[in-house]
Amino acid sequence: MKADPRGVLTGIHFIDGDHACCEGALAAGARFAAGYPITPSTEVVERFASRVPKVGGTFIQMEDELAASITLQGAVWGGAKAFTVTSGPGFSLMMEHIGYAAMTETPCVFVDVQRGGPSTGLPTLPAQADMMQARWGSHGDYEIIALCPNSPQECFDLTIKAFNFAEEFRVPVMFMMDEVVGHMTEKVVIPQAHEIDVVPRKHTHKSVEDYLPYGTNGDQVPEMAHAGEGYNFHVTGLTHDEHGYPNMTPPVQDKLVRRLQSKIRDAADRIAMFEEEELDGADVVVVSYGITSRVAQRAIEVAREQGLRVGKLRLITAWPFPEKKIRELAAKVKAFVVPELNLGQMVREVERAAAGHAKTYAVSHAGGGVHRPEDILKVIVEASRCQTA
Amino acid sequence: MSDSLIDIDTNNSAVNPVEPFLRTDRMPHIWCPGCGIGTTVNSFARALIDSKIDLGSLALVSGIGCTGRVAGYVKLDSFHTTHGRAIPFATGLKLANPKLNVVVYSGDGDLSAIGGNHLIHAARRNIDLKVICVNNLIYAMTGGQTAPTTPDHSTTSTNPYGTFEPSFNLPHLVEAAGAVYVARWTTFHVRQLSRSISEAFKKKGFSFIEVISPCPTLYQRRNKLGDGLDTMKYYKEKSKVRNGAPTSEVGLSMTGEIVVGKFVDRDRPDYGSMMRAQFTESLGDKYVEQDEKEVPVCS
């Protein structure tokens, strides 16, 4: 279906990533947000709080992130599209409810505008050090989807995508911004509502008698009902059967947890989004995401000027990790160079997927700023000279 | 041979009036013999009958623990959430669909310890939720650890030499935080409890009903207070109905008087009304109330 025009601020804007993310959420149909103030993400909900009473929806500032991250899920079961927005310390507090959303298959979006950590770290300065936390931060086995915008325009476009994935797969989607992308002001083009594709809730059409809340129908994603519709369904974070009833036996656990995993993994190729440039014939491929991809762009261009054959692979989908793409490239290139604003997170995934067929070089940065292009360039040069793995 | 005056047909016995409210396919339940939680559910179901609540618009949210399992046994839209977070989940549910009647049904540890912050803020906001707090004075599901409500000098698995922390007086707490309706009963007071729940359904705003309930397996046994029946006798003998009692005077002790009754019944605008009023005043015609959720007719 197409976007509800009431939420779409069609036009050409000069806004920052945080504000663009809010507009993306509104365009995607989000009419509920619960949040707790935290730098550098608060501008998203500040804008939402200002905008949403004029489009028919609710923002509530909760008493903490534990509350915000579950209040939004109550709203989803009440029929809304909902999200929350936070940064490092708040993201840590939300982990249990990312697991709850995964387990109960509650479609929702968690926006994390990453700042330096650990702990209070660097509240106003960037990092990309929550990437593994986004994937693994809650206990138990589960899958999520994580997207990484690198511009305010993408903060708009990909927030819509995040909501669409959340609805399609009934999964919590992590929207992994960083402080620079969040606070960077650029041109953002918001199209007309009829040009924006929006995935509606996967609502059941079955009768009360026929409806199985966690029954699957071939594509592994159950149909949903909302409270107040007469279905009298039960939702629990306990291991549950197709009725949604607790059933804490190893076979039911196995069936449920494997489905939560496979519904995402089986669709990984479709979820995987990346931007590629000059991969054919490349000796070295720079793999980056978020703000770092824009710094890496300069390093790549200088390296090419120096005659090096450098390809670019920008990850837009971080999770599920596009390992097939890396595996294919590893068979052709000498090395991957992975700059990121952390001491080595996604580089581990690149190295795992490359499986020794190509070398992997990390260009780490503890956060608080962005890389200097020359630091990335130095590693590209070094990688170009390496012997084939 | 049957010479009984009452003809009991075991194949077609009269249906218990609360049975339609229960997921009978999930019986037997997990609660221990002598536990009071089932009694509270019975009173709750009778309140639903008496108050003629539209069950289709009723949702029940629980946290974690023995009382947290109530959500799994009632034939309603029911949510068994995370530990301590029933109230914020219910807040989202209510705000997204204001037509819903949302009940939070959970235990003392869930609502007042791990969820204590949410309890006071929901009362402050006066969110239109009906909170039923089954207070068994202990963490029961995990094996009898000290709760914020455990009376002084009780023996628990984490205070084997006796508790010494002062305990929470929950009616006092929620009244101070802003609840519009506060009552306390014990599981001996099944009719009064039912009536209180019915009254709470008529209130708009944050309502809190505490039900003192036995945990014979852990609290009573460990403190040599007898079994479930002994506890009923204690509730009967030591409870004193004091409607309108100042909540500062209703703290609990291990074997002392239990002040029960309706302590608070007052009116102030609930969160939804205040929100709509504020937006109407500030935004005028630009304010768009959220779409009413259409309730589809289910065949």
Closest partner residue to A71 (CB to CB) among B57, B91, B279 is: B91
Contacts of B287 in chain A (CB under 8 A): 53-54
Contact with chain A for residue B123, Cβ under 8 A: no
Which residues in chain A show pLDDT less than 70? 388-389
- Sign (positive or negative) of CA dihedral A257, A262, A264, A265: positive
Q: In the prediction, which pLDDT does B7 show?
A: 41
Using CA coordinates, name the residue in chain B closest to A99.
Answer: B82
Start-to-end C-alpha separation, chain A = 48
Using CA coordinates, name the residue in chain B closest to A33.
Answer: B92
CB contact under 8 A, A75 and B118: no
pLDDT band at B293 (very low <50, low <70, confident <90, very high): low
Query: How far is the CA of B105 from the CAs of A227, B80, B197, in angstroms?
Result: 16, 10, 12
- Tens of pLDDT, residue by residue over B131-171, are 999 999 999 999 999 999 999 999 999 999 999 999 999 99
Using CA coordinates, name the residue in chain B closest to A56.
Answer: B290
Query: How far is the CA of A153 from the CAs of A12, A115, A160, A167, in angstroms?
Result: 10, 20, 11, 22
Integer Cα distance of B190 and B204 in angstroms: 23
Q: How many CA atoms lie within 13 A of A58 on its CB side?
A: 31
CATH 3.40.50.970 boundaries in chain A:
5-195
> Which fold would CATH assign to domain A275-384?
Rossmann fold (3.40.50)
Contact between A23 and A9 (Cβ < 8 Å): yes
Residue in A139, A236, A242 to test binding to B, most B beta-carbons within 10 Å: A236
CB contact under 8 A, A228 and B100: yes
Tokens of A284: 């070295």
**Please, is A88 exposed, middle or buried when counting C-beta atoms within 10 Å of its C-beta (0-12, 13-18, 19+)?**
buried
- Tens of pLDDT, residue by residue over A174-186, are 999 999 999 999 9
Contact between A144 and A102 (Cβ < 8 Å): yes
Written as one letter, the residue type at A155 is C
Q: In the prediction, which pLDDT does B202 show?
A: 96
The superfamily (CATH) of domain A5-195 is Thiamin diphosphate (ThDP)-binding fold, Pyr/PP domains (3.40.50.970)
Q: In the prediction, which pLDDT does B1 show?
A: 38
Task: Flag whether pLDDT at B192 surpasses 50.
Answer: yes
Per DSSP, helices labelled H in chain A are 17-28, 42-51, 65-77, 88-93, 95-104, 131-136, 152-169, 179-183, 250-265, 268-271, 290-305, 323-330, 346-354, 373-384
Nearest to A104 by CA among A172, A159, A167: A172
CB contact under 8 A, A233 and B118: no
Residue B282's φ and ψ, nearest 5 degrees, are -80, -35
Q: Taking a contact as any Cβ pair under 8 Å apart, which residues of chain A between 201 and 260 contact chain B?
A: 207-209, 226-238, 245-246
Tokens of A111: 């926006």
Task: Flag whether pLDDT at B6 surpasses 50.
Answer: no
Contacts of B97 in chain A (CB under 8 A): 78-79, 226-228
Residue A134, SS3 per DSSP: helix
Query: How far is the CA of B137 from the CAs of A93, A323, B101, B130, B180, in angstroms?
Result: 28, 52, 28, 21, 24
Contact between A220 and A259 (Cβ < 8 Å): yes
Nearest to A306 by CA among A284, A279, A336, A290: A284
**Please, is A243 exposed, middle or buried when counting C-beta atoms within 10 Å of its C-beta (0-12, 13-18, 19+)?**
middle
Q: In the prediction, which pLDDT does B5 show?
A: 40
CB contact under 8 A, A97 and B82: yes
Mean pLDDT of B69-91: 98
Integer Cα distance of A383 and A387 in angstroms: 9
ipTM value: 0.97
Tell me, rounded to whole angstroms, the distance of Cα A174 from its chain centroid.
3
Mean pLDDT of B245-264: 97
B25-286 classified as CATH 3.40.50.970: yes
Q: In the prediction, which pLDDT does B295 show?
A: 42
Strand order in the sheet with B207-212: A234-236, B77-80, B58-62, B101-107, B129-135, B207-212, B181-186, B258-265, B239-241
Locus of tokens 């009725």: A243
Task: Flag whether pLDDT at B9 surpasses 50.
Answer: no
pLDDT band at B13 (very low <50, low <70, confident <90, very high): low
pLDDT band at B290 (very low <50, low <70, confident <90, very high): confident
Tokens of A373: 């292009």
Q: Taking a contact as any Cβ pair under 8 Å apart, which residues of chain A between 80 and 99 contact chain B?
A: 80, 82, 96-97
Contacts of A233 in chain B (CB under 8 A): 77-78
Tokens of B23: 């997921």
Contact with chain A for residue B97, Cβ under 8 A: yes
How far B32 CA lies from chain A's nearest CA (Å)? 18
What letter does residue A176 receive in the DSSP assignment?
E
Task: Flag whether pLDDT at B3 surpasses 70.
Answer: no
Residue A336, SS3 per DSSP: strand
Tokens of B190: 């099944």
Contact with chain B for residue A72, Cβ under 8 A: yes
Contacts of B23 in chain A (CB under 8 A): 234, 245
Q: Taking a contact as any Cβ pair under 8 Å apart, which residues of chain A between 22 and 61 contact chain B?
A: 31-32, 34, 53-58, 60
pTM: 0.96
